[in-house]
Copies of this chain bind each other. A is one copy, B any other.
Amino acid sequence: MHRLDDELRSLQASIVRYAMERIALQPPPLDGPKSADELRALYGANVTEDGIGGEEALRRFVEGYAPATLSSDHPRFLAFVPVAPTKAAVLFDMIVSASSISGTSWLEGAGAVYLENEALRWLADLIGFPETAGGTFLSGGSLANLSGLHAARQAAKERLGGVRPDRYRILASTEAHSSIRTAADVMDLEVVEVEVNDPGRLRGEDLVRTWAKLTDAERNSVVAVVATAGTTNAGLVDALDEVADFAEVNGLWMHVDAAYGGAALASHLRERFRGIERAGSVVIDPHKWLFAPFDAAAIVYRDPNVARRALTQEAAYLDEINRAPDWNPSSYGYHLSRRVRGLPFWFSLATHGTRRYREAIEASITLAHESAHEIERRPYLELAIEPELSVVVFRRLGWDAEAYERWSRQALVDGVGFVLPTAYRGEKLLRFCFVNPLTTLDDVRAILDTLAIDPRPW
């Protein structure tokens, strides 16, 4: 299994051929899910004592299983936050696969970690962080948010000395990403919900109003205020400068979840993020709007030393790496063994340069505004929120929740597109999220056209 014999050489050729074909597909098929029973019926067991051979396993994957997975890079995959890697990033991800580099420590992965740090530095510059900032790439925004909040609690613990509150708490708006609530649950933090006024953007006054209701003991227990720069649901950026003012006045760590929206720091919308440079930690996911493949989320800390104290794992077999003054990615996130998942992003950035990134991001912002216009000029549609970044939320007049869902299912089956309903202030609506530079206004028009038909036929 570990030596490249003739059989494996032949398999290698088949696999490379398929990978190259998949990368060249323009567009890839959208495809769609099948049930577990349907998939089971296809071939029966693949994992057996004797094996089915590489060519057969590949054939089953290509013919049977792959068509039951959506292509997240399809230009009409507009649900959730899509992934739209550059070809260079995808190709280099294959080198990461081929190379068995451990990104755990400098000792093991110096050359690769150095390059990841170069990419992180670009993010830190976009944020406006000082030269001393730093962080790491993790498997996703969930883990990156957790790591940032853990560093924040470490800072609070150091401030509080030995005094332990009844609960540690964070302040987060009702529009914060789901991972913030789950992170808090995992960390046993209480979330003090901050109600926001229309249209879902956290403002300083919301924090002040919430803060006024807390007791002194509760205030002392707050370890961070969480701001969102690009809400997943509506693509809105909190009033970061006001949040930073509030955090500063009250001595709190400001954590900014810019997992989706942070890419727009490279666009003409940078001004809307004013105040982000005053955060303690910022999360940006290159696999979202910075064209890296799954999965690469970045966390950048203003003061990485706090994170290192919070997250460095201690054990006899780790002494050698912990004792060295080197940059160990394992010390800046909750992880140890680690794929160098930031490298494909670095390679694409190095290959194409940052200007082309800016242009590609601008293209999605422009498309969001053009789509909003398309929606407004159609009598059966109505914009629900004025798009700020690249999310567009709109309603189909006269439709109930079920009609939206039937339409969405049928649109996927017909290959029209992958668009999911969402809910905004209790109302079922439709939502586009644009991060793929290959998505065109014609794609959007084609999808919008199918919404003209009354829901009953669906």
Contact = CB atoms under 8 A, between A and B. Distances in A.
Given A186-B146, A316-B423, A347-B57, A356 B51 contact: yes
Contact of A47 (B108, B146, B349): B349
A354 to B, nearest CB: 5
A139 B335 contact: yes
A106 B12 CA distance: 29
Interface stretch (A26-34, A238-246, A449-457): A26-34
A142 to B, nearest CB: 5
- Best-buried of A122, A139, A291 by chain B (most CB within 10 Å): A139
Interface string A271-315: 000000000000001011001011101000000000000110111
A446 interface: no
B143 A111 contact: no
Number of contact residues on A: which range applies?
A: 35 or more
Contacts of A416: none
A48 interface: yes
A83 B95 contact: no
A110 B57 contact: no
A3 interface: yes
Contact of A1 (B104, B360, B424): B360
A138 interface: yes
Contacts of A94: 15-16, 19, 94, 97-98
A109 B70 contact: yes
B72 A100 contact: yes
Interface string A171-187: 00000011101110111
A188 B190 CA distance: 12
Interface stretch (A113-121, A203-211, A372-380): A113-121
A50 to B, nearest CB: 4
A72 to B, nearest CB: 5
